[in-house]
Amino acid sequence: MNDILKLPFYAKLALTLLGLISIFFIFYIGQDILVPVMISFLFAILLYPVVQFFKVRIRLPHVLAVMISVILFVLIFIGLFVFLSFQISDFAADFDKIERNISIHIRNIQGFIRDNFHLSSREQKEYIDSATKDSMEKGKEILGTTLLSLTDIVVNLTLIPIYTFLILLYRTHFLLFLAKLVNKEKHEQLKDILTNIRVAINSYIVGLIIQMILIATMTTLGFMLIGVKYAILLGIITGILNLIPYIGILLAGLLSIIASLTGSPDLSIIVGVIAVTIVVQIIDNNIVVPMIVSSKVEINAFISIVGIIIGGAIAGVSGMFLALPILAVLKVIFDRIESLEPWGYLMGDHLPKTYTWRKIKLPLFDSEVPPEKNTIKTDLPLPVFTETTTENTSNRKDG
C-alpha cells in the first residue's frame, strides 16, 4: 500500500495545531530537564568549529578535542564570573552611600509632593505604609523563590558543560539516529535541514555575542563620560542582561541608576544614566540588531514577540532566551518541508529592507513587493550518514 492519504485543509490545520500544542505542553512539564539540554545544544553548535580546529589543524583525537573545547569554554565563564565577583564586592562596600543618597532623593520627592499636592509627610507615610503592609510576607515568599531559583541555576551550571561535552562527543551518533528515522530518499533533504540549522543557530549565537560586547562597550564608555562609578561593571552587566529580550534592559537600567548613587546624590547623574541607556538602546535597535542579529535569523517582529512571550510564560527567562533559536530551527524545517512551507512563510520577514531616495537609503514597508526565497547559502560540507563512519567526509579527507 503506497497510496498517500490526502486530508482536507481543516484536518491538516487541526493536526498541525495539535502537534504544536503537544510540543508546548511537553516543554512546559519537562522544562527542568529540557531547558539545560537545549542550552547545551546551542553551546555545542557554537563550539563545533573549535572542535574541528583541534581535530583538523592540530590533529587531536576526537575525545580530546571535545574535552579541551569545553574546558576552554568553561574557563572563559569562570574568568568572567571571578571578575564580576570582585567588582560586585567593591560595589557592596558602598551600599551605605547608596542608602544615604536614596534617602536624600526620597526627602526631595516628599517635599515636591507636599508643595504641589498639599500632602504632609505624615500623610504620605501613612499612604505608603497602607500600600506596603503585606510587603514583609511577600518579601519572604520572593526570597524563598529566589533561593530555589539560585539552586536550579547552580544545578544547571553544573549540567550544561556535561551535556555540551556529551552532545559534541556523540554528534555523529545522533546524526545517524536521525538518518534512521527517515527513508533513504529523504536523506538529502535531512542533510540540508541539519546543515542550515547549524549555520543559522551558530550565526545567531555569534551575533548575540557581538551584540553583547558592543552594548557593554558603549555603555561603559557612556558611563565613564558622565562620571559614573563602577562603569565597567555596569557596562558588562548591561551587556549580559541585554540578552534577555525587553526585560533585561529595564533591569540593567534600574541597577545602573541605583549604582550611580554610590558617587553622588546629584540628580544629573541619574539623568545622565537614563540618557546613556536610551542612546545605547537606540543604536542597538536601529543599527546593531538589524545588521548583526536580525540578519542571521529572518523571523518577523510579530512572531518574535509572540514567541518570546510564550517562552517566558513556559520557562521564564530561559524560555525567553531560547525562543528565537527555537523559532529559527522551526523555520528552517518548515521552509524545507512542502506541507509546512506556509508556516515558514508566516514566520519569515520578507519585507524589502530599504529603498533609495535622493541617494539616502530609507526603510521600505511595502508588502506588495514579491519576496525573495529565504535560503541560507553555505559551503560547509554536509554530513555523510553511514553505518560505519563516525566522522564527516571532510574529516576523513583531511585526516
Q: Is 187 exposed, middle or buried (0-12, 13-18, 19+ CB in 10 A)?
A: middle
Percent of the chain scoring above 70 in pLDDT: 69
Grouping H, G, I as helix, E, B as strand and the rest as coil, residue 152 is helix
What pLDDT score was predicted for residue 1? 42
**249-264, pLDDT tens digit by residue?**
788 888 888 777 666 6
Number of residues written out for the chain:
399
Q: Return the number of other C-beta atoms located less than 10 Å from residue 241's C-beta.
A: 19
Q: Return the number of other C-beta atoms located less than 10 Å from residue 111's C-beta.
A: 11
What's the whole-number mean pLDDT along residues 2-24? 76
Alpha helices in 56-182 (DSSP H): 62-93, 95-117, 121-131, 135-169, 171-181
Handedness of CA 10, 15, 18, 24 (dihedral sign): negative
What pLDDT score was predicted for residue 166? 94
What pLDDT score was predicted for residue 209? 86
Q: pLDDT band for position 68 (50/70/90)?
A: very high
Does the pLDDT of residue 224 top 80, yes or no?
yes
Q: How far apart are CA 198 and CA 204, in angstroms?
A: 10
In the chain, the amino acid numbered 334 is F
What's the whole-number mean pLDDT along residues 225-237? 85
Between 395 and 177, name the one with better pLDDT: 177
What pLDDT score was predicted for residue 66? 94
Strands, E assignment, the chain: 354-357, 360-363
Q: pLDDT band for position 44 (50/70/90)?
A: very high
Does the pLDDT of residue 376 top 50, yes or no?
no
What pLDDT score was predicted for residue 372? 47
Q: Return the number of other C-beta atoms located less than 10 Å from residue 389's C-beta.
A: 15
What pLDDT score was predicted for residue 397? 46
Q: Tell me which long-range contacts 20-24 makes (C-beta under 8 A, separation of at least 24).
A: 24/310, 24/314
Q: How far apart are CA 208 and CA 248, in angstroms?
A: 14
Q: pLDDT band for position 390 (50/70/90)?
A: very low
Grid look-up 513556559 returns 314
Q: pLDDT band for position 134 (50/70/90)?
A: low
Q: Return the number of other C-beta atoms located less than 10 Å from residue 138's C-beta.
A: 10
Decide if 284 contacts 242 (C-beta within 8 A). Answer: yes
Between 55 and 285, name the one with better pLDDT: 55
Q: pLDDT band for position 369 (50/70/90)?
A: very low
Decide if 185 contacts 192 (C-beta within 8 A). Answer: no
The per-residue pLDDT of the chain, averaged, comes to 76
Between 277 and 102, name the one with better pLDDT: 277
Does the pLDDT of residue 26 top 60, yes or no?
yes
Three-class DSSP labels, 293-315: HCCCCCECHHHHHHHHHHHHHHH
Between 339 and 355, name the one with better pLDDT: 339
Does the pLDDT of residue 361 top 90, yes or no?
no
CA 194 to chain centre: 21
Name 331's Cβ contacts closer than 8 Å, sequence gap at least 6.
297, 298, 299, 344, 347, 348
What's the whole-number mean pLDDT along residues 356-372? 50
Does the pLDDT of residue 150 top 70, yes or no?
no
Q: How far apart are CA 374 and CA 334, in angstroms?
A: 12
Q: Which residues pair with 361 in a beta bridge?
A: 356
What pLDDT score was predicted for residue 161? 92
Q: Domain segments of the chain: what residues?
A: 9-99+149-181, 185-296+350-399
What pLDDT score was predicted for residue 165? 94
Q: How far apart are CA 193 and CA 188, in angstroms?
A: 9
Q: Angle at the Cα of 356 (from 352 to 362), degrees rounded to 5?
A: 65
Does the pLDDT of residue 282 top 80, yes or no?
yes
Cα–Cα separations (whole angstroms), residue 62 to 37, 48, 129, 172, 396? 21, 11, 64, 11, 12
What pLDDT score was predicted for residue 31? 84
**155-199, pLDDT tens digit by residue?**
778 889 999 999 999 998 998 898 888 888 888 888 888 888 888
Q: How far apart are CA 255 and CA 251, in angstroms?
A: 6
